[in-house]
Amino acid sequence: MKRTTTLLAACAGSFLLGAFINAPDDPKKPLTTGMIEVASTVFGLEFTPAERDSMLDNLNNARTNYEALRKIDLPNDVAPALYFNPLPAGFIIPTGPSSFKASSAGKVTLPANRDELAFYTVGQLGELIRTKQISSVELTQFFLNRLKTNDPKLHCVITLTEELALTQAKRADAELKAGKYRGPLHGIPYGAKDLLAKKGYKTTWGAAPYKDQTLDLDATVVRKLEEAGAVLCGKMTLGALAMGDVWFGGTTRNPWNTEAGASGSSAGSASSVSAGLLPFAIGTETLGSIVSPSTVCGTTGLRPTFGRVSRHGAMALSWSMDKIGPITRSVEDCALVFNAIYGPDGHDPTVMAAPFRYAPLTTLKGVRVGYVKKAFESTYPNRANDSLTLQTLRSLGAELVPFDLPTSVPAGRISFLLTVEAAASFDELTRSGRDDLMVRQGKNAWPNAFRSARFVPAVEYIQANRARTKLINDMADQLKAAKLDVYISPSYAGGNLTLTNLTGHPCVVLPNGFTKENLPTSITFMGQLFEEGKVLAVAKAYQDATAWHKKHPIL
């Protein structure tokens, strides 16, 4: 049964409505001043009887407009006419050519125990393929078998794309034999979060209402990876509609503790890479969906600058916050994958042209690395491991500079922007009542969040965006005053995660230790807009001085 989404129906049955007015049975009947009085309490305003009476014509006309608007077909891939721009006042986008210099792979040979290939980096596997020590078909079959064997424990795959993978692997081998080498991703298996479309396969968004959905297009990221020679082995799980780790088929598991979830929403991407089922996978982040599962599963993830990677062919959750990035075993693997997927495609108008320049650093001497002082000095679960990270950076020669995030705009108070946009993305799901098919139905789950978001006034949504502009400019001022290109932050403590997802700054999250329960912990390296290269280089220098990323779960 379809839900009636008029103001009256939304409030029907509530205590306030019953207490103050006699609700008509027909929701199509004109609104009354009593309804306006009740509705205004939702957003904390008070109007006089004369003011409420004056509003009636406008509100009844508006309701008629809403009903007409709902008859327009607006599928998920239709974006608003307003595009988010993360650039602060006076910011100049980097220009000039891109440059990419990976570390030397050194001498890479096939291990005597082939199972060890499961935890080779993309760079190492790429060298094995380039030197023809192993074929893409062999490597693809190896990882397909690992996916089949371990998915019953981890529930990290929605669709295994075996036929496609073997076709792409055979092509990669034939091209290499003919002298055509596409680069470091040539013949490398990978997985894509199942909110990215691939022709011929379902794109379920992890949610029961869409579990049989097919989209007749290739997401730009999938297309670019195919052009780079990568081999798509599976569509990986995500928490339904990109929240959490619960999808229509169950809960994606953490390889370090299969009794626990992998966090979300890029749950399957992080779980599969952590367990050595794939060399890399593509995730997305709106408010922590790369950082969180990477932390829990002990993987390395890159959340690029907003407007760096096209979202064409990806499920829209929040048009102003969605970002796409790789989840891998190492920092440089993130750089290798990002180098293949960034840049404009003519489909996503928010993507800006800017160079990507990456080269490993031989030393951190003289590099100013900020640290979020209040966050590191607060009391939080991972403080001990994070303090050791600071010590390691000092030992590498980095100049640690105390840095504080702007406080003029409490980021948590405007994060409802995400929920409002998500409610618009899935407006038809709410109005049709099909949100009842979603597995999670609690107060904090999407169905309730979508319904609640309808009560956010448009004026408050715009005001929150104006506050977001102030936050963006204040963040730029803080970074400029501290003369920082890179800073580090606890992955969760101190508010950095929410703030920088709103401002659009890039981050690299990577392992920095373990808890007493032998579960991974993480640290986050942050950078200026469009400066992924600098962040990756500093993060790599730290990671090379540690061995946390080389530890693997035993299934």
Tokens of 139: 């490597």
> Does residue 259 sit in helix, strand or coil?
strand
Q: What is the pLDDT of residues 196-246, one digit of tens each?
A: 999 999 999 999 999 999 999 999 999 999 999 999 999 999 999 999 999
193 among known catalytic residues: yes
Closest CA to 191 of 122, 131, 132: 122
Containing H/E element for 59? helix 49-69
- Half-sphere CA count of 340, side-chain side, radius 13 A: 23
> Does residue 52 sit in helix, strand or coil?
helix
With 80 as the cut, is the pLDDT of residue 12 above it? no
Rounded to 10 degrees, the C-alpha dihedral 207/212/217/219 comes to 30
265 among known catalytic residues: yes
Contact present, 353 and 343 (Cβ < 8 Å): yes
For residue 485, name the pLDDT band (cuts at 50, 70, 90).
Answer: confident
266 among known catalytic residues: no
Q: Which amino acid is at 241?
A: L
Q: What is the 3-state composition of the chain as percent helix, strand, coil, each rounded to the nearest 5?
A: 40, 15, 45
At the topology level, CATH places domain 113-346+360-408+466-550 in: Amidase signature (AS) enzymes (3.90.1300)
With 50 as the cut, is the pLDDT of residue 469 above it? yes
CA atoms of 46 and 466, how far apart (whole Å): 23
Which of 22-31, 295-304, 358-367, 518-527 has the lowest average pLDDT?
22-31
Domain edges within the chain? 1-72, 113-346+360-408+466-550
Tokens of 192: 């894509």
Tokens of 30: 């004109």
**Residue from 289, 318, 330, 425 carrying the catalytic annotation:** 289
CA atoms of 386 and 303, how far apart (whole Å): 20
Containing H/E element for 272? helix 267-274
**Residue from 135, 136, 193, 224 carrying the catalytic annotation:** 193
With 60 as the cut, is the pLDDT of residue 325 above it? yes
Q: What is the pLDDT of residues 427-460, one digit of tens each?
A: 999 999 999 999 999 999 999 999 999 999 999 9
Q: What is the DSSP letter of 517?
A: T
Contact present, 291 and 266 (Cβ < 8 Å): no
Give 144's strand partners. Answer: none
CA atoms of 489 and 372, how far apart (whole Å): 6
For residue 13, name the pLDDT band (cuts at 50, 70, 90).
Answer: very low
Assess whether the previous peptide bond of 415 is cis (omega < 30° from 0). Answer: no
Segments of 128-230 assigned E as strands: 157-160, 189-193
Q: Which amino acid is at 67?
A: E
Segments of 373-475 assigned E as strands: 399-403
* pTM, full prediction: 0.95
Write the CA distances from 467 to 231, 459, 473, integer angstroms: 43, 12, 10
**Residue from 135, 136, 263, 265 carrying the catalytic annotation:** 265
Tokens of 455: 């009560």
Contact present, 294 and 270 (Cβ < 8 Å): yes
CA atoms of 20 and 161, how far apart (whole Å): 58
Percent of residues, the chain, with pLDDT higher than 70: 95
Residue 145: exposure state from Cβ atoms within 10 A (0-12, 13-18, ≥19): exposed
